[in-house]
Amino acid sequence: MSDLQSQEPSIIINGDLTEEPVEQYEIEEEEQIFEEEKPKKTVTFSGIDDVEADEELRKKEFEEGGGLPEQPTNPDFSKLNPLSPEIINRQATINIGTIGHVAHGKSTVVRAISGVQTVRFKDELERNITIKLGYANAKIYKAEDANCPEPDCYKSFRSDKEVSPKCDLPGYDGRYKLVRHVSFVDCPGHDILMSTMLSGAAVMDAALLLIAGNESCPQPQTSEHLAAIEIMKLKHVIILQNKVDLMREDSALEHQKSILKFIRGTIADGAPIVPISAQLKYNIDAVNEFIVKSIPVPQRDFLASPRLIVIRSFDVNKPGAEIDDLKGGVAGGSILTGVFKLGDEIEIRPGIVTKDDHGKIQCKPIFSNIVSLFAEHNDLKFAVPGGLIGVGTKVDPTLCRADRLVGQVVGAKGHLPSIYTDIEINYFLLRRLLGVKTEGQKQAKVRKLEPNEVLMVNIGSTATGARVVAVKADMARLQLTSPACTEVNEKIALSRRIEKHWRLIGWATIKKGSTLEPIA
């Protein structure tokens, strides 16, 4: 840039060149010309009025759209289902996982659908990768106007949106009707975070498999994650071919063929493939349509004994809070069966794990009461299976901080399964190792289990070490490093340490085991 261009604009008055910037002179004629073109919202003190007016308008729209009705206090759960308005107005009832290779756009898709940023921690923001399980809820609406074309008639909002917002499609009147309330479990795609992904898979009902169009398919963690959901018996998968804005049409079609070849014969065979751009929000309405049409609402048992598996736990107190303001710990997770209500007595197993004087492991379950129930920003009077729920308790917050309760099971007092210290399993190994690029691109074969080797097992959301005590044909006995609250016939994932990373090698079913009597 030349010196002349880089100089601040100057103005000539009475033949003298002054260094004053033009902006400081009020030229009345120009002001009149541009008056109409000025943006309506200006960053001035008068702009406060505009913000207040906007706030008033939002409140009015919220009330006109039916607001967010309170839940009934004592409903008849035998008459409710996961799509009853009393439930989906405030709580998500389907868990959808986002899986796929690192940097393929999993968190961006969740943000495009739900408007919630799942990457929250300092480390995650700095590296721009997901490290802990992210979670976000979204309401999916459909326009009530029957003439509204698909997929434009589908729209998603945050979970605190009113029940029937105004339809904002040009040329169509009426309102939107709430059809689904979904909860996204945003899994990390990095290879060293595989155990975190397996913890998330334990609560999923369906999955969005993200495959970036600007990289060849399959990438290592694409195949590893697909095997993981196959193990977890997830039948409903939607494939999102992301980043199509970076591709030409012919290369996008070629890439789609490589996806079809990759999924042939897997659990995702026949799954819809939706080309999208998560960053630019292209085709997100089509994703919403497929979520509504191709993912059925799971059958839930509201009358069984309640049980929740913990995938996150928090201490919500700020440093320096007054003693009177201190709150108990919060456990976040997904309810598998039954219904939790405010005031319920709960038990958390295995609880506090310690060793006695002889080095033997002992467990002390934690007992408490439910003081609050939340689904994102919506407070609840009762919570049903599906969706991620925050359960506020009276438990010492130190026990909950920094995800210390992850892997524990919360349930009604005296109704939880046994605590196992070693288990006998019927196992199945993968033929080849997934997610590892070896010399010559040939995948390494999976070795058989050997006595005394240490594996990592994922039981529900618990990730624990396990030493192989004995192996016979397809049966093995495992000694668990830390006790787990589980049941016979529960499905678990097995991982082995290969090249300093835990790699998925197979799955197993628990047949029997040694239980531990908790101490009172």
pLDDT tens per residue across span 423-472: 888 888 877 666 555 554 455 777 788 888 888 888 877 778 888 888 88
Whether the CB-CB separation of 283 and 389 falls below 8 Å is answered with no
The CATH class given to the 307-412 domain equals mainly beta
Pairwise CA distance, residues 64 & 47, whole Å: 26
Q: Rounded CA gap, 492 and 470, in Å?
A: 18
**Mean pLDDT of all residues in 44-60:** 57
Nearest 5 degrees, angle CA 386-CA 387-CA 391?
Answer: 105
The pLDDT of residue 308:
86
CB 275 within 8 A of CB 241: yes
What are the tens digits of pLDDT across the range 255-266?
Answer: 888 888 888 888
Tokens of 115: 């408007």
Q: Are 406 and 308 in contact (CB under 8 A)?
A: no
User: Does residue 474 have a pLDDT over 70?
Assistant: yes
Predicted pLDDT of residue 176: 82
Average pLDDT over residues 290-294: 87
- Whether the pLDDT of residue 7 is over 50: the answer is no
User: CA-based angle 270:272:274, to the nearest 5?
Assistant: 150
3-state class of 227 per DSSP?
helix
% of the chain beyond a pLDDT of 90 = 0
Beta strands in 127-275 (DSSP E): 134-143, 154-158, 176-186, 206-212, 237-242, 273-275
pLDDT at 235 over 50: yes
Mean pLDDT over 157-176 rounds to 78
Residue 248, SS3? Answer: coil
pLDDT digits (tens, 9 = 90+) for 316-333: 777 777 777 777 778 888
Do 419-516 and 307-412 fall under one CATH topology? yes
Confidence of residue 62 (pLDDT cuts 50, 70, 90): low
Contact 519, 363 (CB under 8 A): yes
Round to whole Å and give the CA distance between 365 and 520: 8
For residue 14 the two structure tokens come to: 């009475």
Buried b (16+ CB within 10 A) or exposed e, 486-495: beeebebbbb
Q: What percent of the chain has pLDDT over 70?
A: 75
Helices (H), 122-279: 122-127, 194-201, 220-231, 249-263
Compute φ and ψ for 400, nearest 5 degrees. -105, -20
* 373 has pLDDT over 60: yes
Mean pLDDT of the chain: 74
Average pLDDT, integer, range 156-175: 78
Contact present, 125 and 226 (Cβ < 8 Å): no
* CA–CA gap between residue 15 and residue 7 (Å, rounded): 19
Instruction: For residues 458 and 426, give the distance between their C-alpha atoms in angstroms, rounded to a whole number.
Output: 15
Encode 20-32: b = buried (16+ Cβ within 10 Å), e = exposed.
eeeeeeeeeeeee
* The predicted structure's pLDDT at residue 26: 44
d(CA 231, CA 224): 11
Work out the average pLDDT over 48-57.
59
The CATH superfamily of 419-516 is Translation factors (2.40.30.10)
d(CA 506, CA 454): 14
> Half-sphere exposure of residue 269, counting CA atoms within 13 Å on the CB side?
5
pLDDT band per the 50, 70, 90 thresholds, residue 117 = low
Lowest model confidence (mean pLDDT) among 16-20, 97-101, 516-520:
16-20
Q: How confident is the model at residue 245 (pLDDT cuts 50, 70, 90)?
A: confident
In this predicted structure, the answer to whether residue 133 has a pLDDT above a threshold of 70 is: no
The C-alpha atoms of residue 275 and residue 214 are separated, in whole angstroms, by 12
Q: How far is CA 126 from the centre of its chain?
A: 20
Output the CA torsion 377→379→383→384 (10° steps): -50
Domain locations in the chain as residue ranges? 3-27, 94-294, 307-412, 419-516
Question: For 397-421, how does the pLDDT look when each residue is reduced to its tens digit (9 = 90+)?
Answer: 777 777 777 778 888 888 888 888 8
pLDDT at 63: 61
CATH 3.40.50.2300 is held by the domain 94-294: no
DSSP assignment, residue 154? Answer: E
Compute the radius of gyration of the chain from its Cα atoms: 27
Query: According to the model, what pLDDT value does residue 346 have?
Result: 85
**pLDDT higher at 452 or 196:** 452
Residue 53 in this model has a pLDDT that exceeds 70: no
